[in-house]
Structure 1
Amino acid sequence: MKEINDKAREMMKGYCRVCKVCDGRACAGEVPGMGGLGTASSFKSNVEALEGIRVNMRLLHDATEPDTSTSLLGYDMSMPVMAAPIGGISFNMGGAITEDAYTDAIVGGCKAAGVVGCVGDGVPPYIHEAGYASIKKNDGLGIPFIKPWEGAELDEKLELARAAGCTTFGMDVDAAGLITLRKMGRPVSPKAPAELAKIIEKVHSWGARFVLKGIMTPDEAALAVEVGADAIVVSNHGGRVLDHTPGTAEVLQEVSEAVKGQLVVFVDGGIRTGVDVLKMLALGADAVMVGRPVSVAAVGGLQEGVEKYMETLRGQLVGAMVLTGCKDIASVDINVLF
């Protein structure tokens, strides 16, 4: 991973410093780029919230070979981890590799690691085109996250994703704050529950599932259940759309408790290690999404880089489970936390 990160640092110069600790301090306000909006308070809060959580070490048990596998939304995974949807190589990451090479690395690397890669959306069109092509190459194993577009663009992209063989569709409603898209004549906006219900009904009519990304409060989690979402992602969009939000680890427990057993709960934001994964699971997440570190691995090492990062993450998760007495993912609960 050191070689991969060193190469990524060189290739992403001016866009991401690939800091030893990815905490949003060095890149504050660098949007586009890999930073957080404004003061980067929301980005920093994600990392700080996780850092502030401690775990209970337990060694008097027989959990010597933990089972990290899980099944969610019809996917059998080697561990409860997905790659978060991030795109825009040219303006966010320096353009040292093409968007196609990047999405192939994300989706293909995740598939090889036994997990699921998500792809992003945006302007210009090659962002979603590359993502859908990569999913199609990998037999539909990937989740496209489509921005909350106004007008016909949303339906058009849902149809394109369907043609790529997707069985799960996502919408990152937390992208509704990207005013740059509106200035480019491609507006995104919040979605009222009635409109979301119709979108989800359409996706369900295809025999597919729907994930709503950008839920940060228990009341909106309950609304997600009402409109028929199959899963939510507790997310503040990596701190890139609204300054001064809480970190996702701060709100996760309350949000997950509000909808426990009614839909799948994912979370992203500041997850860097296997111990971070364990903490989020203990707070009530069914699985996590990892963003910036996977992007860095893809730029620095393409598919091999993504595979190596996932391998590293799983090794850390296994170690953390052994040292906290968790024999499988189902046994990870709030008692893990100090």
Structure 2
Amino acid sequence: MDFATVKSQAKDQLKGFCRVCPICDGRVCSGEVPGMGGVGTGMSFRNNLTALAAYSLNMRTLHGCKEPSTETELFGIKLSTPIMAAPMTGTPYNMGGTIGERDFIGMIVSGSKQSGAIGWTGDGADPTMYDSGLEAIIAEQGHGIPVIKPREQGAIIERIRRAEDAGAKAIGMDIDGAGLVTMALKGQPVGPKTFEELKEIVQATKLPFILKGIMTVDEAELAVSAGVKAIVVSNHGGRILDCTPGAAAVLPAIAAAVKDKVTILADGGVRTGVDVLKLLALGADGVLVGRPLVVGAFGGDAAGVKIILDKMNAELKQAMILTGCSTIGEITQNVIYQGK
């Protein structure tokens, strides 16, 4: 199986829900939530891509970087790549349901592990969504990171306990899921958290706690003060609030404020290894990928997920060669063309 086969098969499997466009920029699927699109006008979805596209790279070829390493660590977990699978749920109403929730997340977690990455799992209105993620993590001996919606405090802590029992390497909450309509419609409202509420949740576990959905410097600093071990700069893939900037637009300021205090991850509009390089250069320590891995799973099961991740990591290595970066740690803002 190759990349072209994966895309072709995914297009058939996702028919009516995702067109598997040659350029996945959210234009065709604007407003399709539920579905694969961005909320409202789709501007937040598109801004993720345009923010990345706004940056150009300095090409450098007079150096000794011939075989770069993409190896990295996250909370002591050794990874072959800084590219990870973002938490995703909702195969019945977002992706057509030709693959069940448990099968889908199993493909994501297993394919990620096979690629030397780590898969994140999600939470949703249907309890089987979070359960399926934990089952997939258990099947891979704890190699996964579950992410919980910003539910009521007790419900979050109960899910943290189950993640601990599953042997998860870390635990997260996607605070950018606050106000999700699908959750409210199912009688499971979610919402923002006060600083005190966040601190209570962080202190409820000894696992590294990740807060996903940070888009401003002030909230990044609040997250650090609350004791989180990592943040994810993310606008929820453009699926929660219209007219937000792209993650790459706000990442540099956030990194400048908290880079040495917390692990910084980022997602949004990542389609290639060059996109990954840009986010790392702008201050991220790792990158999450979503929609491309949906194509991988629907087009080729766990093997398809691995094909997508391997392809993106190969692109990252090539970009590192051509920008003079031997390791992930050498990818800095020197890679970004500043202009005059």
Match of 2:316 in 1: 317
Structure 1 position 103, deviation (Å): 0.9
Looking at structure 2, the residues matched to 217 and 332 of structure 1 have their Cα atoms a distance apart, in angstroms, of 23
Structure 1 position 59, deviation (Å): 0.4
Looking at structure 1, the residues matched to 290 and 99 of structure 2 have their Cα atoms a distance apart, in angstroms, of 18
- 3-state DSSP class of the match of 2:78? strand
Looking at structure 2, the residues matched to 53 and 26 of structure 1 have their Cα atoms a distance apart, in angstroms, of 24
Looking at structure 2, the residues matched to 177 and 7 of structure 1 have their Cα atoms a distance apart, in angstroms, of 34
RMSD: 0.9
Matched AA of 2:26: G
Match of 2:145 in 1: 143
Q: Does 1:211 align with 2:213?
A: no
Match of 1:231 in 2: 230
Match runs of 1:213-292 below 5 Å: 213-292=212-291
- The answer (yes or no) to whether the contact 1:25–1:44 under 8 Å persists in 2 is yes
Looking at structure 1, the residues matched to 192 and 175 of structure 2 have their Cα atoms a distance apart, in angstroms, of 6
Match runs of 1:163-202 below 5 Å: 163-202=165-204
Identity between Structure 1 and Structure 2 (%): 49
Q: Tell me the TM-score normalized by structure 1.
A: 0.98
Match of 2:89 in 1: 87
- The answer (yes or no) to whether the contact 2:153–2:201 under 8 Å persists in 1 is no
The runs of at least 4 consecutive aligned structure 1 residues that moved more than 3 Å come to none
Structure 1 position 180, deviation (Å): 3.0
Structure 1 position 272, deviation (Å): 0.5
Q: Deviations 1:154-184 (Å, cap 9, x if unpaired)?
A: 2222222222111200000000021332232
- The answer (yes or no) to whether the contact 1:144–1:169 under 8 Å persists in 2 is yes
Q: Tell me the TM-score normalized by structure 2.
A: 0.97
Matched AA of 1:319: Q
Structure 1 position 126, deviation (Å): 1.4
- The answer (yes or no) to whether the contact 2:125–2:182 under 8 Å persists in 1 is no
- 3-state DSSP class of the match of 2:123? coil
Match of 1:77 in 2: 79
- 3-state DSSP class of the match of 1:304? helix
Q: Deviations 1:126-150 (Å, cap 9, x if unpaired)?
A: 1111111000010111000100002
Instruction: State the number of aligned residues.
Output: 335
Match of 1:133 in 2: 135
Structure 1 position 151, deviation (Å): 4.9
Q: Gaps spanning 5+ residues in structure 1: where?
A: none
Equivalent of 2:112 in 98, 110, 113: 110
- 3-state DSSP class of the match of 1:152? helix
Q: Does 1:13 align with 2:21?
A: no
- The answer (yes or no) to whether the contact 1:177–1:242 under 8 Å persists in 2 is no
